[in-house]
Each structure stands twice: as structure tokens, then as C-alpha cells.
A = this chain, B = another copy of it.
Amino acid sequence: MDEKKTFDEAAEEIVSLAGEKHFKTIREKLLVFNSPDIAEILEEVLEEVGITETVIIFRLLPKDISVEVFSYLPSDDQVRIINAITDTEISYIIDELDFDDKIDVLEELPANLVDKILEKTPKNERSLINTFLNYPEDCAGTLMTPDYISLEQSWTVRRALRHIKNVGMDSETVYTCYVKSAGRVLEGIVSLRTLVVSDDDVLISDLMHTDIVSINVYEDQEEVSEKFKKYGFIAIPVVDNEKRLVGIITVDDIFDVIEEEATEDMERMAGVLDDSDTEYLDMSVWQQVKNRFPWLFFLMLSYILTGSIISTSEATLASVPALIIYMPMLMGTGGNSGSQSATLVIRGLSVGDIELKDALRVLWKEFRISFVIGLSLSVLNFVRVMIEQRGDPLQVQIALTVSVAMVAIVVAAKCIGSMLPMAAKKVGIDPALMASPMISSLTDMVSIGTYLLLAGAFLGVIG
């Protein structure tokens, strides 16, 4: 806690020093922090002071640190800095970045700038970069790096360790090493732990694991993060369709994926369509409108049906206007009950606690839960309506209508709310699209229909 406070205070101090252009003091104060912290502070300076000051501070950092700091900045800030520095500086940064960070940056830059940078890259690397830039978005290929350590089956542990000593600093990780056949097919994996606990003369072929967990280069990033979660590995090799090793993905690149995937789920569950990874504050009003309008419009259309259900019962409502008072409560409770169930089922499907074959078990469970909840709310409402409508000759009928509708609505909403996401998954639609907004609109229709039907029955006035 204290530590966090100190950091926040230091960050604030540096931001205000940047405003007063005390750059030399800033440099000293920054250099006590590690690169992710410096990056966080630069982000604040960029947001609150400006790009000119940020670039000056950035240039004052020792060169190796500045590249590391750059790699920890969010991609839109990286682009802003790239646009404000010289071509020589850009080339230096791009050259020095780890391969996977390099690809991430190049992906965000405009094509003509990428071309200019690639012109200065050696031919070998240029074609590798182009291959990486061409992998489809959100696939394993965009997460991997080609900087891994290769060992030979015939090597001894001594030779392998000597090799790692020579190339270890240029690799993304040295903790998992890979053994390939002549045709670049992945044959085995050895961890550095195994190497350091083994005797010097043991052969790699005797140490390597051959039951390999790998990822296809075109696999979706969600499946990649599932594998990391399941196996707890530090790195997983990526192979092409011919099982040739093309790169590795390390665990530190998976956190962003998990965060992105959870954000995507939550946004979809709220009826927001968003394909970008842009942060809320950086997204234009126009883009936000485009993300949010479609579902609102679609859901609004669904209320035309709800409206027409009401218009068939206009006579009932006009003759017993007290009925209108309870409509919002029944609709709201139906919507809330439904979205509770929908959320639990969507999350259960997404983390693997619930599978499609569990549909009947889920339905039976929701039925019992909703019956208990519905009945309790129903009794409470019977009492409430009896009190509120005392003196009205239709008092009992209205109370019966509301309380019977309550049970029916909660049960229906929870059953619909739990089954709709499973049905969506069954036909290949993302269950997250079937959350609150969708369920509320649907249960509103059911709620009003049920309510008015019961009103007709109990009050003897059918629409």
C-alpha cells in the first residue's frame, strides 16, 4: 500500500516537473524506477503535459532503457512518439526491440512508414517480419516470437549450456529449449531446470520430453490462453500445419489476451459491439455511437411487438388503471431475474464449468431456483398490493393478478435467461450476445403478455 502511494506521489511530482520543464531533475528521479514504472509515468506526462515534453524526457533516458520503456507503452502512445521523433531514432528503437514487440509496433504504424523502416532491415529479417505481419488478427501467429533457443539431440548438457550462455541474452526465454529435426519439425522440449539439475555428459535426446503440447499458428488467441491456463507452462511452441516449429509464445503475452477476451465478453453482454482494442477515452464519439447504436436499435424494434401486445389489452388497462402501476416492477424483476441466470450460464460456458450437454441439469436447477424466488416475491407482493389497493372493490383480483404473474414471470425469465445462451452456443453464436439487453427485451415481452393475460382471466375483461 505504502509503496503504491510513494509511486503515485513520485509520478505526480514528475508530471508537474515536466510542466515546468525541469528535465534534468526528471531524468534523475525517473532512473530509480524500473522500465514498466517509467513507462507508466511517461504515459501520464504524455496525457497531462504533452508530446513535446514526453519526447524530450524520452530522449534523455539512456538508450537501452528508452527502448525497454518504449516496449511497455500502450500502442497508441508508441505511435504518437514514433510520429514525433526522427527516422534515425525510429530505426534504432525498431532494431533494438524484441521481435514480438517489434511486430506489435509495426502493426500499428501506417504502411508507408513500415515500408521505410523495412528498407533499412536486412533482407532475411525483412521477409520474416513480413510473414509475421500477415498473420490474421487475434491468431497465435500474432502473439509469437521467433527468438527461441534450439538445441540438437546429439548435444550433451555441457554443450547445450554453453550454447545458451552464448545466445541466451537474445532469446525471449531461455527456460524452455526446443529440439527440431532436419525438416524443422518439433521433436522435443527440454527445460533449463532439467539441464541445470542434470549431469554434464547426459545427452539432450535422453532428457527431452516428446509428449509436446503445441499451438497451431492459426489457432485463436482464446484457445492459446486456455492452454496456458490448463498446463501452467512458461512458454508453448507454435507450429505450422506441417508441424514445423515457427515460434514460441511466452506467458507474459497472455495476460493482455485474457484481459481483452474478458472485456470483449463483458461488452457483448452489455450490447456493445467493439472489434478494436482502443481504450474508452481514446475512442471517438462517432466510433462509440457506431458500437452502441445497432443493438439499441434492434432491441427497440423488439418493443414494437411488446407495444402491440399492450394495445390488444388497452380496454382492460383503461378500465382498471391500477394495473399499470405494477407493470414496470414486473418487467424490471423479470429482466433482472433473467439476466442473473444468463450471466451465470454465459460465464459458466466460457470458463468451462458448464457444457452444452448439461442443458437439462441447468434448466431443472433454474426452474427450482426461480420457483423459490418467484414464490417469495409473489407472497410479498400480494401483501403489498392488498395494502396499496385497500378500498378498491377489485383489490383481491388485482393482488392475485400481480402475485401469480410474479411467479410465472420469474420462472419464465430464469428459464429463458439460462437456455438462450446455450441455444446460441449450440448454433455457433457467441453466448455473450444473449445477455441482459437481449434477455430483458425478451422477458419484457413475456412479462407483459403474461400479466395482461392473467389480468384478463382474473378481472374477467379480456382485451
Contacts and interface: CB of A to CB of B under 8 A. Distances in A.
Contacts of A345: 280
A89 B328 CA distance: 59
A425 to B, nearest CB: 15
Contacts of A255: 228-229, 232, 258
A202 interface: no
A231 B325 CA distance: 55
Nearest to A316: B321
A328 B280 contact: no
A169 B197 contact: yes
Interface residues of A, number: 114
B307 A329 contact: yes
Interface in A230-274: 230-234, 251-252, 255-256, 258-259, 262-263, 265-267, 269-272
A103 B440 CA distance: 43
Contact of A307 (B232, B328, B339): B328
B310 A324 contact: yes
Contacts of A174: 192-193, 196-197
Given A192-B192, A258-B258, A266-B269, A303 B285 contact: no
A228 B253 CA distance: 11
A377 B296 contact: yes
A307 B325 contact: yes
B365 A281 contact: yes
Which applies to chain A's interface (DSSP): helix, strand, loop or mixed?
Answer: helix
Interface in A199-246: 211, 213, 216, 219, 228-234
A335 interface: yes
A251 B233 CA distance: 9
Interface in A352-408: 353-354, 358, 361-362, 365, 368-369, 372-373, 376-377, 380-381, 384, 388
Interface in A285-313: 285-286, 288-289, 292-293, 295-297, 299-300, 303-304, 306-308, 310-311
A197 B216 contact: no
Contacts of A325: 307-308, 310-311, 314
Contacts of A271: 336, 339-340
A337 interface: yes
Nearest to A192: B192
Contact of A335 (B267, B329, B335, B354): B335
Given A307-B329, A318-B318, A251 B270 contact: no
Nearest to A228: B255
How many protomers of this protein does the assembly include?
Answer: 2
Given A1-B216, A197-B168, A281-B358, A328 B331 contact: yes
Nearest to A353: B279
A135 interface: no
A131 to B, nearest CB: 22
A372 B307 contact: no
A47 to B, nearest CB: 9
A287 B303 CA distance: 34
A367 to B, nearest CB: 9
A111 interface: no
B336 A304 contact: no
A142 interface: no
Contacts of A288: 365, 369
Contact of A310 (B228, B328, B343, B361): B328
Given A175-B175, A289-B373, 13 more contacts: A258-B258, A259-B351, A265-B266, A271-B339, A280-B344, A292-B337, A296-B377, A303-B329, A307-B325, A311-B322, A317-B317, A332-B444, A339-B437
20 contacts: A168-B196, A229-B255, A232-B252, A233-B252, A263-B351, A266-B343, A266-B347, A271-B336, A271-B339, A279-B353, A281-B354, A281-B361, A288-B365, A292-B369, A296-B377, A300-B381, A303-B328, A307-B326, A307-B388, A331-B331
Q: Which are the 4 A-B pairs with shortest beta-carbon distances?
A: A232-B252, A303-B329, A270-B343, A279-B353
